Amino acid sequence: MTLTGVADLVGCIACGEEVKRQKPHPDLINLALKKAGQSASSAVMVGDTPFDAEAANAASVAAVGLLCGGFSEGALLKAGCKAVYRDPAELNLRNDLTYRRMAGLIWEGGDGRSPKSND
């Protein structure tokens, strides 16, 4: 994580070796929630397989899918993903646009431009 520059963004780590059952069982997600001290309703699971989405749903966590894992959008949606993005870069872009829109920083056109004045 230090190599990728995200170490300061990670508060805890949960590994598959720490649980008896693997995805699609919710054990790993429940462990991560416990370690983070968070509720399922405050979490989102980002994954690239239907097994990730099934595990998230079994833990009552919202699932978001990424197409970079080789599964189709249909397979990810059928497994329970609430949204599907091409890759982490698109997920980041879309979340940034959503935040900026909610904060009133961009208009509903979604292209990042401010609305033009009618004056």
The string of pLDDT tens digits covering residues 42-88 is: 888 999 999 999 999 999 999 999 999 999 999 999 999 999 999 99
Residue with tokens 């609430």: 82
Q: Which two tokens stand for residue 78?
A: 């059928």
Determine the angle formed by the axes of helices 27-36 and 50-58, rounding to 10 degrees.
60
Same domain, 63 and 112: no
Task: Tell whether pTM > 0.95.
Answer: no
Establish whether the linkage from the previous residue to 26 is cis, with ω within 30° of 0: no
Asked, for residue 103, whether it belongs to a domain, the answer is yes
Same domain, 20 and 45: yes
Same domain, 18 and 76: yes
pLDDT mean across residues, the chain: 84
- Helix and strand counts by DSSP (H, E) for the chain: 4, 3
